[in-house]
A = this chain, B = another copy of it.
Amino acid sequence: MPRCLSLKLSIEREEPFRLANVELLSYRHSYNVRYGLLTRELRFRDRAGRETSLRSRRFVSMTRMHLAAISWELVAENWAGSVEVISALDGRVVNRGVARYQQLWGRHLDPQGPRVHAPDVIALKVRTRQSRIEIAQAARTRAYMGGEELDVARSTYQTEDYIHQVLRFDLDQGSSARVEKLIALYTSRDRAISEPLETAGRSVSRYPSFGDALEHHTQAWLELWEVCDVQLPRDERVQFLLRLHIAHLLQTCSPLTSHHDAGVPARGLNGEAYRGHVFWDELYVYPFLSYRLPGVTRQLLMYRYRRIGEARANAARAGLAGAMYPWQSGSDGEEETQVVHTNPLTGRWERDLSRNQRHVNAAIFYNVWHYYQITHDADFLREYGAEMMLEIARFWSSLAHFNPDRGRWEIHGVIGPDEFHERYPGESAGGLRNNAYTNVIVAWICETAQRVLDLLPAARRALLCSRIGLSDDEIRKWQAMSRKMFVPFHGGVISQFEGYEDLEEFDWDGYRAKHGNIQRLDRLLRAEGDTPDRYKVTKQADSVMLFFLFSPTELGDLFARLGYEYSDDLARRTIDYYDRRTSHGSTLSLVTHAGALARFDPEGSWERFIAALGSDIDDTQDGTTTEGIHLGVMAGTLDVVQRAYLGIEIRDDVLYFNPTVADRLDGLRLSIQVRRTRVIVSLDGSEITVAVPADGNTGPINVGVGVAARELCAGQSVTFKLW
């Protein structure tokens, strides 16, 4: 969108101030994590020797969807004279945030013209080139001195894609002025408007002062923190990073943004990497949201429901039934995954088979089911959720085939989350045989889809089966698959896919010694004419995902139904096996390993948790953070705390807690919401206390630790002894 949250300063009509053309006497740039407020405080001396102090604060409102604001406080420290503040709306923006996209066209906005809406209000409209969405901004700029609005001289300059207003006033030596610029942003997709430019202009005229808007904004954040804060006070850095992640998560997914139909983009709403596309990161994002802001999850799940038509067409094109959601999803839900990509190490274009990551469909199914488990939102399940789940189950069952030699169902031609293995070495076709993660989760999907059918009222079940053409034969096939999916094993561990054991072992130490950071081993190998397909190397958790997504009880049931042995030992061996062969080339992998290891190796888990926590703040992937945050990892660290460390699980209508890494959790305090009832959990020493607040309309809830469980009503609490 056009650039709007900035101001420029010119003293005595000279060249506007930039950091480069002054002598900086002091400078402080800070981001307030609690309130989403960016502050710059600086003092500079210009070429004429004038010293000026400037404090700039800006925010995008958490309480008014269309409002953003910037305020400047200026002090003429040792001079007097005329000041010009330039307040612009600039539609000439170009996407340049990702170095390797420089060859791509970066201008996405067509000008639709500027307008002066009122003496103190300018406005600008642009239109996105492909989707033809109109974006209108209006800016109201006012100057104040000592609490009184200044009667400033104003002049305007405009071109077709730019407009600015100059506010001119005089400053005495030592005196200060304040300039406030309030922004209203509307698009042609917004509801309750006549036309976006007109509405933006009218709205901004009515906005409160910067101070009032900021106060409302901070109060909205306070309210969010009351619901979303995770207190883990034993380690100050951990505490800070958890809150940093909560803040970034809420900037992308909040009650104010969730209806915008942008889904959960991997790099947040403004990161340019991956071109705003939506992958599977929501799998890591919803567990935190659904337990706190279930309405946000619901709205975001609608991003998928609205695109079920494209997903069906996508499946049909591939000769399959049901809905096949794309690996990369954009505005209309078509497959947006690139078919080639550049290796930045060589500049060469390489074939890209990553669209075979059909497991995104398993993630969507899982997300809907877990949202329902946490909320019991039968309305959503009936109207939207069930259709997605059933169509995804159909997709998987149409992709599977029965292998009579094994007497089991198999899935070929897909890849798991591990993108290092796109095909078998030497084979041209993409995809692998029997990815274990996929096959196990498909068995679970086939079982769960039947439960979904049972949960539907009879008329909706009939309607859905008719509309999507679901037959009894297919349901019987689900029954069979839920009992007879094939899972590959070798040497006492789950094989990532059939044939994994035949791959070569990789010289990790040698390669690390040679290259340092080898997270993106694939690029290094390909630059050398080799391929990761040949080796027992994994970019990110694949089979290990199972131990992150499912509790031991669930996995035990799942494997038992499939007729496979399952034990803690199998889990421990499998996690350990891949842990030693994973580059963690996606930091999501660290989240998964932290979660999976929590029960078996608390120290190892914590180590990976700490690494995941640091991935954006320390930019551990060599510069990718400037291209946009890694939302899945940020949210995933929060989920590790609640699901792996606190051990939250809903089973048989009881909310269980099963803490691990317990010595790290002393002082933990968080609140969650289950089926409309709010629950506050705190862990002190060897005791865990669960309380239901007295306020609000809440039903009773069953909570338990181990085998002990009891019912809590509003205003009650219970303390369990842990060890």
Contact = CB atoms under 8 A, between A and B. Distances in A.
B191 A306 contact: yes
Contacts of A303: 192
Contacts of A695: 457-458
A261 interface: yes
A332 B223 contact: no
Interface string A112-152: 00000000000000000011110000000000000000000
Contacts of A309: 203, 206
A28 B579 CA distance: 75
Given A226-B459, A455-B697, A696-B457, A466 B195 contact: no
Nearest to A260: B191
A623 interface: no
Nearest to A467: B216
B206 A462 contact: no
A567 B699 CA distance: 37
A219 B378 contact: no
A676 interface: yes
A52 interface: no
A696 B383 contact: no
B189 A331 contact: no
A193 interface: yes
A383 B259 CA distance: 14
Contacts of A359: none
Contact of A676 (B192, B307, B378, B467): B378
A43 to B, nearest CB: 33
A203 B699 CA distance: 44
A194 B457 contact: no
A632 B165 CA distance: 50
Interface string A329-342: 00111000000000
Interface string A348-391: 00000000000000000000000000001011000100000000
A463 B223 contact: yes
A713 interface: no
A493 interface: no
B222 A463 contact: yes
A63 interface: yes
B130 A216 contact: no
A208 to B, nearest CB: 9
B223 A460 contact: yes
Contacts of A219: 459, 462-463, 466-467
Contact of A378 (B215, B332, B696): B696
A249 to B, nearest CB: 18
Nearest to A205: B313
Contacts of A132: 188, 195
Nearest to A225: B459
B194 A332 contact: yes
B383 A194 contact: no
A699 B697 contact: no
Contacts of A696: 378, 455, 457
Nearest to A331: B194
Interface residues of A, number: 55
A220 interface: yes
B383 A192 contact: no
A191 to B, nearest CB: 4
A108 to B, nearest CB: 13
Nearest to A294: B379
Contacts of A223: 457, 459-460, 462-463
A199 interface: yes
A295 interface: yes
Interface in A289-340: 294-295, 302-303, 306-307, 309-310, 312-313, 331-333
A552 interface: no
Given A295-B379, A695-B458, A188 B188 contact: yes
A226 B457 contact: yes
Given A188-B132, A463-B216, A697-B376, A199 B457 contact: no
Contacts of A556: none
A413 interface: no
A195 B132 CA distance: 7
A63 B332 contact: no
Contact of A332 (B133, B193, B460): B193
A255 interface: yes
Nearest to A310: B192
Given A309-B206, A383-B255, A199 B463 contact: no
Contacts of A462: 219, 222-223
Contacts of A194: 130-131, 331-332
A192 B466 contact: no
Interface in A484-541: none
Interface string A543-574: 00000000000000000000000000000000
A294 to B, nearest CB: 8
A379 to B, nearest CB: 5
A53 B307 CA distance: 41
A295 B379 CA distance: 8
A192 B463 contact: no
Nearest to A383: B255
Interface string A278-291: 00000000000000
B459 A192 contact: no
A255 B379 CA distance: 11
Interface in A647-666: none
Contacts of A302: 191
A169 B462 CA distance: 38
5 contacts: A131-B194, A216-B467, A222-B463, A226-B457, A295-B379
Q: 9 tightest A-B contacts by CB? A: A192-B306, A223-B459, A219-B463, A191-B261, A194-B332, A216-B467, A226-B459, A194-B331, A191-B306
Interface of A: 63, 130-133, 188-189, 191-195, 199, 203, 206, 215-216, 219-220, 222-223, 226, 255, 261, 294-295, 302-303, 306-307, 309-310, 312-313, 331-333, 376, 378-379, 383, 455, 457-460, 462-463, 466-467, 676, 695-697, 699
Given A378-B696, A699-B699, 16 more contacts: A132-B188, A133-B188, A192-B303, A194-B332, A203-B309, A216-B467, A219-B462, A219-B467, A222-B463, A223-B462, A255-B383, A295-B383, A376-B676, A378-B697, A455-B697, A458-B695
